[in-house]
Chain A
Amino acid sequence: MPDLLIELFSEEIPARMQGKAGDDLKKLVTDGLVEAGLTYAGAAAFSTPRRLALTLDGLTAESPTLTEERRGPKVGAPEKALEGFMRGAGVTRDQLEERTEKKGSFYYAKVTTPGRKAEVIVAEVLEKTIRNFPWPKSMRWGSGSLRWVRPLHSIVCLLVDEAGAEVVDLDIDGIRSGNTTRGHRFMGPDAFEVTSFEDYEAKLKRAKVILNAGERADAIWQEATSQAFAQGLEVVEDAGLLREVAGLVEWPVVLMGTIDDDFLGLPPEVLQTSMKEHQKFFSVKNPKTGRIEKFVTVANIETADNGATILAGNQKVLAARLSDAKFFWENDLRVAKGAGLTAWTDRLSNVTFHNKLGSQKDRIDRIAALSREIAPMVGAEAGAAALAAEVAKADLSSEMVYEFPELQGLMGRYYAEAAGLPADVAAACEAHYSPLGPSDDVPTAPTSVSVALADKLDTLTGFWAIDEKPTGSKDPFALRRAALGVIRLVLTNDLRLHLDRLIDAQLLRHQIDTNGDEKQVALRDELLEEIARHGVFGSAVRAIVDQIEGDAPEWVAKVTEHSRDLSDDLLSFFHDRLKVFLRDQGIRHDVIDACLAMPNADDLTLLVKRAEALQAMVGHEDGTNLVQGFKRANNILSQAEAADGVEYSYGADVKFAEEEAEKALFSALDAADEVIKPAMEGEDFAKAMEAMAALRAPIDAFFEAVQVNSDNSIVRRNRLNLLSRIRETCSQVADLTKLDG
């Protein structure tokens, strides 16, 4: 049972691609070998900046010989057909066998595919793997047409057994496989021969290459933390950075350097971001003060001066970077403390947000207006909510955020604090972008919640107003993420909002052009506030419109003639996102549909409460049986209503009840009502559903004992009205007809 060793040696492979490339190499080669009939005991893949390697042990030396039987033409078929069959099967006339079956006599041939040697299969599979390797981006070089992530220089391909190592011969565009490789670019550049995986790994280590990326990462982390520990400091953990750095070196040499005192006043996030993004440095923190005081860089070489030159160079580059950052920070603080954050916001009137949605300043004004309207609904103070929205994006004008866009929000918080703004306003500057991803924390401070909701709703209504909705996989403005953000803000904070009113108000804000006229702006905001509170067709809006003195601005017609189509469309987009969100939490899609059919479906918290109660009910036997009983009642009733042309919705009276089961159902419904009514008033859907589920037995008994379509028309009508009571009672939490099954 031979072992297989493969190494593909190239120029530097991007760090982010190495891990997956190792896995791909393993998968493609092992799949190919297995498909060709070989088996193996174990496999492991490795990657460094300059090589991918694969070792397999216990590979079978050849693939098994396969024999199959093939049926050919009928005996007596034309000679041509028979010749073709024999050619295909690789047999001669005398090797054919005649067999008589139901449908006649046929020729049969035994076809043997001989087993192939492992080296033949390995060569084939490796060539195919190299030519079809799934690099995220690949390139050509020189005059060749082979593609690899960067120029491929050499291939080791060895089969090793007791007798020794044998090179598997292959030639790919002039690159001939062999048994030699090289070590570290500077510390072990000479070629050497390898005879097995163990030999390969050991010789590499002597030539200053650690083959295993995990081993390199461990070595870096251990050395970095112990150097930090020796000085009473700790390295800030960053698994992504560690992985990346381990992919940038073949022989890690950890060096700890000092950050000049001049820069220690910078916010720690700025230091960390600048060092990580530009230099791939780890931050080293003083646990007592929480300040970042040093850095760790990982070099790829051991030097005679123990890294002194390298460290000095790195410190110099860092100092240049940080003096830029310090310059930005100090300039920004001067603005924040002097002219204030509104000076920055004003500058945003020159920055286009989107050519159909105006400038960033226009956007901020809209968000502030909506945030003021949302504030009382989320327990925030309206003035603070509006102020926070006005300054939340001011840092987009700051020099620091221009340089490090990923610090937006965070810098806003620092600058708001510097400007002496209240703590909740400063916090909202940072928190209003959240939640970004599905696992991002959701803000809970009322001022932050108000701005976060207003920001996302403004984006959604804006792109809806200009008809730039997401289609298929295209969502360039991340609108799905914004909608999910709104959903999570509402649910996490248990907010009771009429989302459609907010949508109407903000859609209109996008559509109304006041020309900046102060009186018009005031009128607009008064109208939209009423819409946000009471809805677009409320009498409050009417009353304001009626009171307008003199000529009403042209846009007032937009308010009075507002069509709900667009806001309904956006609301159903929210519902789609909610379905995805709830499905991930295990709630069935038909359960959600059943709840969406109920009134006030724009109140997402209410909607989810219904869905959770219904999901719980359909999860047990009484619940599913109740649904069956309900559907039966509903079907009989609907058919009768359609046939009779009337609606049986009132007047079921126990005095016309004839059967015991019928009477029992009456009293069960009465008893259920006693529980359901207060439960519904308290929005205790679980309790209401529990009471409904208790109707299952009486309903089943009723259908068992009673024929609804009695000859007595009074009795029949009474029974239909009784079914109507079932329908009414059971439809209070959700529309059960939408449930599957």
Chain B
Amino acid sequence: MADTTSKPRSFQEIILRLQTYWATKGCAVLQPYDMEVGAGTFHPATTLRALGSNAWAAAYVQPSRRPTDGRYGENPNRLQHYYQYQVLIKPSPPDLQALYLGSLEAIGIDMALHDVRFVEDDWESPTLGAWGLGWEVWCDGMEVSQFTYFQQVGGHDCHPVSGELTYGLERLAMYVLGVDHVMDMPFNDPDAPIALTYGDVFRQTEEEYSRHNFDVANTEKLLKDFENAEAECAAIIAAEHVDPKTGKRIIMAHPAYDQCIKASHIFNLLDARGVISVTERQAYIGRVRALAKMCADAFVLTEAGGHAA
């Protein structure tokens, strides 16, 4: 187990300490979702599990993609691919703020020396039809996390309410490690025989994806992909609840939601390619939201969604 009394030395050590911390606090430490998403919230372990009455506690790293934020690896803190650390606990425990502050101590932030503040920030995801109230958490004037009590997801009121914590890992780690440019940040231990920086791992991919996202991604194909995903999502939802082959009641909320995720990412790519006008933008967001809502409607009819068997 990591030594939490000392300062962490690398990006991965910060991740490992968070994993350990939340594991000891009783969260199931999950793995990233195997699809391209814009934020950790899109992982079904958050979006879908925030729905229904079943209790839940999960923590995971989620690689996230924001094509418009690509800067060819040159900007000190902007990336089109980055990591979020996500915690979701349902129902939100009464000591969630204290648990969260404990996680900051675990990664070496001494509460007696730093100024940690909870500053109003209401969270809303128009594509997920979701919103919640909470804060952005500031450490010495820097936003290090988003803290949200989910009120609605996919158009459904959340009962019970989930508490969601999202850490922007690169930014947080840069602060803790005292690094000014993300690419200079040690990824593994700087004294390791083969010491790697964040740049060693990601500089080239940032360059490649920036070029691809801004100038190369085939927009005609993407437009078709969007419509395909949209149609597929609806088709999956429309399937009979009872599987004719097994005779079981199997509502395919997750496969349908995969298509929703896909549509959302394609929309982000199209946006980065600059082919979506301001007015069309709203329409696309509305279409993704409609999918998210369908999936949420389906999920609450499943056992995991709290439906009595």
Contacts and interface: CB of A to CB of B under 8 A. Distances in A.
B77 interface: yes
A277 to B, nearest CB: 13
A282 to B, nearest CB: 13
Contacts of A93: none
Interface in A352-381: 352, 355
Given A310-B115, A317-B140, A15 B120 contact: yes
A248 interface: yes
A310 to B, nearest CB: 5
B168 interface: no
B90 to A, nearest CB: 9
A314 B141 contact: yes
A150 interface: yes
Interface in A288-339: 297, 299-301, 303-305, 309-310, 312-314, 316-318, 320
Contact of A142 (B94, B132, B278): B94
B112 interface: yes
A403 interface: no
A142 B97 CA distance: 13
Interface stretch (A133-141, A217-225, A724-732): A133-141
B246 interface: no
A496 interface: no
B133 A137 contact: yes
A526 interface: no
Contacts, number: 97
Interface in A211-258: 248-249
A284 to B, nearest CB: 16
A713 B53 CA distance: 97
Nearest to B134: A150
A656 interface: no
Given A313-B139, A313-B141, A314-B141, A186 B120 contact: no
B160 interface: yes
B278 to A, nearest CB: 6
A301 B140 contact: no
A184 to B, nearest CB: 12
A312 to B, nearest CB: 8
Contact of A141 (B114, B116, B161): B161
A16 interface: yes
Contacts of A303: 112-114
A733 B272 CA distance: 63
A150 B133 contact: yes
B113 A297 contact: no
Interface string A133-165: 000011111110000011101000000000000
Given A141-B92, A309-B140, A352 B117 contact: no
Interface in B106-132: 111-120, 122, 132
Contacts of B175: 313, 316
Given A139-B151, A141-B161, A317-B140, A309 B76 contact: no
A11 interface: yes
Contacts of B93: 142
B149 A314 contact: no
A143 B141 CA distance: 33
B283 to A, nearest CB: 12
A422 interface: no
Contacts of B158: 140
B91 A143 contact: yes
Given A11-B97, A313-B175, A352-B279, A142 B161 contact: yes
A312 B97 CA distance: 25
A142 B120 contact: no
B274 to A, nearest CB: 9
B92 A139 contact: no
Given A139-B151, A141-B92, A143-B160, A314 B119 contact: no
Contacts of B24: none
A166 interface: no
Interface string B255-269: 000000000000000
Of residues A16, A138, A139, A300, which shows the largest number of chain B Cβ atoms within 10 Å of its Cβ?
A: A139
B142 interface: yes
B149 A151 contact: yes
A141 B149 contact: yes
A14 B119 CA distance: 7
A317 B120 contact: no
Q: Which of A153, A300, A301 has the most CB of B within 10 A?
A: A301
Interface string A248-284: 1100000000000000000000000000000100000
B133 A355 contact: no
A142 B77 contact: no
A153 to B, nearest CB: 7
Nearest to A351: B278
Given A303-B113, A313-B139, A151 B120 contact: no
22 contacts: A12-B117, A12-B118, A12-B120, A49-B118, A139-B149, A140-B151, A140-B159, A140-B161, A141-B91, A141-B163, A143-B161, A151-B149, A186-B111, A248-B119, A300-B117, A303-B113, A309-B114, A309-B140, A310-B114, A310-B115, A313-B139, A320-B77
Instruction: Sort A-B residue pairs by CB-CB distance and give the 8 closest, nearest first.
Output: A313-B140, A14-B120, A12-B118, A314-B141, A143-B160, A299-B115, A139-B133, A142-B91
Interface of B: 76-77, 91-94, 97, 111-120, 122, 132-135, 139-142, 149, 151, 158-161, 163, 175, 180, 277-279
